[in-house]
Amino acid sequence: MIIYILLGVLAVLVLWFISTYNFFVSAKGRIKGAVQEIGNQLKRQADLIPNLESSVKGYLKHEKGILDKLADVRREIAQAVASDNVQKMSDAGSKLASILPSIKVVVEDNPELKGSDVVTKLMDELRDTADKIMYARRLVIDLTVDYNVRRQTFPSNFVANMLKLEELPGLITPEKGEHLEVSEAETKTPSIKL
Amino acid sequence: MINVYEAVSANKTKSYFIVALFFVFVTLVVYVLGQSFGYYLGYAPGGIGYVGLALIVSGLMSLGGYYFSDKIVLSISKARPANRKKDFTFYTVVENLCIGTGLPKPKLYVIDDSAPNAFATGRDPEHAAICATTGLLEKLTRSELEGVLAHELSHVKNYDTRLMAIVAVLVGMVALMGDWFLRTMWWGGKDRDRDEDSKLGAIFIVLGIVFAILSPIIAQLIQLAVSRRREFLADAGSVEITRQPESLISALDKISADHEPLEVANKATAHLYIVNPFKGGISGRGPSTALKMVNQFAGLFNTHPPVSERIKALKTMV
C-alpha cells in the first residue's frame, strides 16, 4: 500500500519537474525569438522609411527638418540591425517614437499638409511602425519577467538552481538615473499656451 | 490599489469558481432528473440511460457548434473580411497587439454598421476571428481602438470563446433534460406497485418536477454570470497588453454613449460583443430602493456588467 503511495508521489514529482524544466527551456527559446522579432521589426522600419520619404518629398520640400530627422533615424536603425546587439536595437527603436511628436507639430501647423492624404498616410505608417517596435520590446520584457519570477519563486526555484539557470537581463534600463526621479517641474500640471 | 497582474489573476480565480459551480450544478440536475425518470417509469434505465442519451445529443450538436461556430456567427452578422489598405488602423492595431502578446494574428472582419461594437469568436487562438463594426473604426481614435481590440484579443487568449461555447452546450443539455422530463410526465408513466419504495420515489418525482422547471432558468443565470465575469477579465487583460486603462475607459464611454442599436446582433450573439448591443432597458439611477432592487434583479439577466462598473474596475488600475 505504502509503496504505491510513494510511487504516486514520485510520479507527480517527476511530472512536475518535467513541466517546470520545459517551461524554462521554452521561455528561453521564446525570449530569444522575441529579441529577434525586434530586429525583424527594425529591419522592416528601415526598409519602410526610404519609401515613405520619397513619397512625401514633394509635399515636405519646405520642411527639410523632418526629412533630415527621418534620414538620421534610418541610419541609426541600419547600424543597430547590423550590430546584432539587443540594447542598440532597442534604443534605435525608441528613436523614431521620440521624433514623431515633432513631425506631428509641423503637420498640425500646416493646414495644407494636414489635409493631404499622402501626409496622413505617412503619419499613420510612422505611428504604426513605432508601435510595432514598442510591442516587440514589450514582449521581450514580459517574457523575461515571467522567466525571472519563476526562476526565483518557490518551488520552481529548485529546478532553476539545479539547472544553474542565470537571470536574464531583458531590456537593460539603468536602475539609477534621471528616468526614475521626478523633478519639481515635472510634478506641476503642464500649461499649454496657444 | 491593485496592479494589472493581480487583477488578471483574481479574475481568473473567480472565473474558475463560477465555472466549477456550474459543473457541480449540471451534475446535480442530471443526477436528480435521471433518478426521477427511473422512479417515475418504474425501472432504472439500462444501457447508456437518459443521461447518456442527452449527452450524446447535445454532444453532437456542440461538436458542430465547436467547429463551425465562427463561420455561423460571421455569416449571421454579415461580416466582410478586412484588408490592410481599406481598414489600415484596424488591421495594423491587431497586428501590433499580436506582436506584443505573441499570439497568432486572428482573421479580421468588418460589419458595415454605424453602431460602434466588436466581438471575438473561434475555438482557439489559431482559429480565432475578430470582428469590428465600421462605426467603431470611425468613431474611436487609434489608442481607444487598441484598448477595445486588446479586450477582444484577451478573450481569444483566455479561451473565453471556447468556454462560452461549452457552457452554452451544458445549458442546452439541462434545458433538454428538463423538457424531456416534463413531456414524459404529460404522457404518464408505467403503472406501478405504489407501495414499493413509494416514499423515496415520490420525493424524487417531486424534486424532478421542480428541477425540470427551475434548472433551465438557473443554468441560464449562471451562464450569464460566467459571461459577465469574463468581461471583467478581458478588460483587465486588455490593460495588461496596452498598459493604457484610460484609452479603454474613454472607448467604453464612447461606445455606451452611442444609443444606436446594432441591427445584425441578436439574442444568440449578444454575449459576444464588447458592450451589449441592445442598449437601453431599465436605466433608473434614482434613489428609490425599489427601483434599485428591480435593477439588481434585471442585472442578473444581463450578458454584460454595467459599463459604469467596468470603468470603476479599470480606474483602480490607472
The whole-number pLDDT of residue B69 equals 66
Contacts of A139 in chain B (CB under 8 A): 99-102
**How many contacts, defined by CB atoms under 8 Å, are there between A and B?**
32
CA dist., res. A165 & res. A150, Å (int): 11
The whole-number pLDDT of residue B40 equals 67
All cell numbers assigned to B110: 468588418
Structural domains in chain B (count):
2
The whole-number pLDDT of residue B174 equals 74
Shared-domain flag, residues B156 and B8: no
* B73 occurs within a structural domain: no
Active site positions of B, annotated: 152
Cβ within 8 Å, pair B100-A138: yes
* B74 occurs within a structural domain: no
* B75 occurs within a structural domain: no
Shared-domain flag, residues B292 and B240: yes
The domain in which residue B201 lies consists of 4-68+167-224
Residues of each annotated binding site of B: 151, 155, 231
Tens digit of each residue's pLDDT, chain A (194 residues)? 889 999 999 999 999 999 889 889 888 998 888 888 888 888 888 788 888 777 777 776 666 777 777 788 778 777 777 776 767 777 777 777 777 777 777 777 777 766 677 777 888 888 888 888 889 888 888 889 888 988 888 888 888 888 888 888 877 766 666 666 777 776 666 666 65
* B282 occurs within a structural domain: yes
The whole-number pLDDT of residue B283 equals 40
ipTM field = 0.72
Contacts of A134 in chain B (CB under 8 A): 100
CB-closest option in A30, A124, A132 to B96: A132
Domain stop point among B200, B224, B248: B224
| Ranges of chain B whose pLDDT falls below 70 | 1-12, 14-15, 18, 40-66, 69, 165-166, 168-170, 185-198, 266-269, 271, 278-301
The whole-number pLDDT of residue A119 equals 77
* Average pLDDT for chain B: 76
- Chain B: residues touching A (Cβ < 8 Å): 88-89, 92-93, 95-97, 99-102, 142
CATH number at residue B308: 3.30.2010.10
Burial class (CB in 10 A: 0-12, 13-18, 19+), A193: exposed
User: pTM (2 decimals)?
Assistant: 0.76
CA dist., res. A152 & res. A140, Å (int): 18
The whole-number pLDDT of residue B282 equals 38
A119: left (phi over 0), alpha (psi -120 to 50) or beta: alpha
Shared-domain flag, residues B147 and B14: no
Chain A nearest-CA distance from B274, in A, is 23
* Contact indicator for B37, B208 with CB cutoff of 8 Å: yes
CB-closest option in A127, A132, A143 to B99: A132
